[in-house]
């Protein structure tokens, strides 16, 4: 296939580009800047200079091109935000960016569209020991700081599934760790570690970025239209566990703070780390996509990353 990839220079986009090319696909990598164009070209893909948030510019850039599929892997996670509202960059990418990329897919003549979603769409609350599946309610507001993020996740999925003439697929990823993320064992990737509660926080679902990229290829090739798939590793872990393992790989200490201070300083992180707990099943992705994570949990994934 010819695949337009939005987010080709990101933490998932880089390994995804390599995997797509290795599988025999051609990649058109969206690039907002000259530097991004150089990165895309260095990965072996063909750069397409455009900003996904500039609808007119994006449609002009893809005019005359052809693609079989569009993959939306755009996020804006350079730094943790104190709180979130409707202007939050990743939320805008999920709402406006999805609409623009769907319009580009029509111009390109694409027949498949894969979008990035997250397990947090199941709601920022403690789900207890029950295993969440794709049949559980998704995109439900619970009256807390996570609602804005949930709105964006619901929007990208609803737009993707409703797009006429496209097989729309949503991948509900766990929290990302590995190269290019906040939980990257390479010391130079972040000026400071992600703060985590001293208690460790509640357990949640995780996925290594290399596994996320592999699942995206599987969904592109074998996913069913109008379906969502959970993409998670085999073991829920607390934020403190992953932060400690990341810090140990860096020969540093994790940045642990009292839960009360975390809520005051970065309320959104308090809601996400202290109030939200979930165990998520990836059985549907294994059954329908033939995908299983290469890294069973963060300990194995971080060891592999360091190696």
Q: State how far Cα 250 lies from the chain centre.
A: 24
With tokens 């290399």, the residue in question is 210
What's the pLDDT score for residue 76? 76
**3-state class of 139 per DSSP?**
coil
Task: Say which CATH number the domain at 145 has.
Answer: 3.40.50.720
Distance CA 51, CA 301 (A): 32
Asked whether residue 239 is assigned to any structural domain, the reply reads: no
Q: How confident is the model at residue 291 (pLDDT cuts 50, 70, 90)?
A: very high
Nearest alpha carbon to residue 97 among 68, 40, 58? 58
Q: Mean pLDDT: which of 72-81, 94-103, 175-184, 185-194 is highest?
A: 94-103
Give per-residue pLDDT as tens, 252-283.
889 999 999 999 999 999 999 999 999 999 99
What's the pLDDT score for residue 190? 67
Asked whether residue 199 is assigned to any structural domain, the reply reads: no
CA distances from 26 to 49, 153, 161, 170, 256 (A): 17, 28, 24, 21, 44
| Domain count across the chain | 1
Asked whether residue 51 is assigned to any structural domain, the reply reads: yes
User: Which pTM does this prediction carry?
Assistant: 0.96
What's the pLDDT score for residue 239? 97
Nearest alpha carbon to residue 74 among 86, 57, 92, 56? 92
Nearest 5°: CA angle at 285, between 157 and 158?
10
Given a cut of 80, whether residue 297 has pLDDT beyond it is yes
Main-chain dihedrals φ then ψ at residue 61, nearest 5 degrees? -70, -35
CA distances from 246 to 5, 234, 253 (A): 29, 18, 9
Q: Which two tokens stand for residue 96?
A: 């406006």
What's the pLDDT score for residue 263? 94
| Proportion of the chain above pLDDT 90, given as a percent | 86
What's the pLDDT score for residue 183? 93
Asked whether residue 23 is assigned to any structural domain, the reply reads: yes
Q: How high is the mean pLDDT of the chain?
A: 94
Q: What share of the chain is helix, strand, coil (3-state, %, to 5)?
A: 40, 20, 40
Question: Strands 196-197, 69-72: parallel, antiparallel or unpaired by DSSP?
Answer: unpaired
Distance CA 193, CA 182 (A): 7
Average pLDDT rounded to a whole number, residues 224-233 = 98
Q: Which two tokens stand for residue 114?
A: 């894969």
Distance CA 94, CA 115 (A): 9
Given a cut of 90, whether residue 188 has pLDDT beyond it is no
Asked whether residue 259 is assigned to any structural domain, the reply reads: no
Asked whether residue 93 is assigned to any structural domain, the reply reads: yes
Asked whether residue 192 is assigned to any structural domain, the reply reads: no
What's the pLDDT score for residue 189? 66
Q: Which two tokens stand for residue 267?
A: 């309320």
Q: How confident is the model at residue 307 (pLDDT cuts 50, 70, 90)?
A: confident
Asked whether residue 85 is assigned to any structural domain, the reply reads: yes
Distance CA 236, CA 119 (A): 12
Given a cut of 90, whether residue 90 has pLDDT beyond it is no
Enclosing domain of residue 115: 2-177+207-233+281-294
Given a cut of 90, whether residue 82 has pLDDT beyond it is no
Give per-residue pLDDT as tens, 206-228.
999 999 999 999 999 999 999 99
Give per-residue pLDDT as tens, 11-42.
999 999 999 999 999 999 999 999 999 999 99
Average pLDDT rounded to a whole number, residues 234-257 = 91
CA distances from 107 to 18, 49, 111 (A): 25, 16, 11
């Amino acid at each position: 296939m010819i695949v337009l990839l939005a987010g080709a220079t990101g933490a998932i986009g880089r390994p995804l580009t390599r995997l797509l090319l290795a599988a025999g696909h051609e990649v058109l990598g969206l690039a907002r800047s000259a530097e991004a164009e150089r990165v895309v070209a260095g990965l072996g893909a063909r750069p397409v200079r455009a900003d996904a948030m500039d609808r007119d510019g994006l449609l002009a850039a893809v005019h005359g091109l052809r693609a079989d599929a569009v993959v939306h892997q755009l996020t804006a996670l350079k730094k943790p935000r104190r709180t979130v509202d409707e202007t939050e960059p990743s939320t805008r990418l999920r709402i406006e960016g999805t609409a623009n990329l769907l319009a580009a897919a029509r111009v390109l003549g694409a027949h498949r569209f894969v979008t990035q979603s997250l397990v947090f769409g199941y709601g920022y609350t403690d789900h207890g020991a029950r295993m969440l599946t794709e049949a559980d309610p998704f995109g439900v507001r619970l009256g807390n700081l996570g609602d804005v993020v949930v709105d964006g996740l619901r929007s990208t999925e609803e737009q993707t599934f409703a797009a006429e003439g496209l097989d729309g697929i949503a991948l509900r990823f766990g929290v990302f760790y590995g190269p290019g993320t906040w939980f990257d064992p390479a010391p130079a990737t972040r000026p400071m570690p992600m703060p985590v509660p001293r208690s460790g926080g509640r357990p949640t679902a995780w996925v290594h970025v290399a596994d996320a990229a592999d699942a995206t290829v599987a969904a592109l090739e074998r996913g069913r239209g109008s379906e969502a798939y959970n993409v998670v590793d085999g073991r829920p872990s607390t934020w403190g566990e992953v932060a400690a393992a990341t810090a140990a790989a860096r020969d540093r200490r994790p940045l642990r703070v009292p839960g009360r201070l975390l809520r005051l300083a970065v309320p959104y992180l308090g809601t996400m780390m202290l109030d939200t707990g979930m165990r998520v099943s990836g059985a549907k992705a294994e059954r329908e996509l033939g995908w299983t994570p290469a890294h069973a949990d963060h300990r194995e994934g971080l060891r592999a990353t360091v190696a």
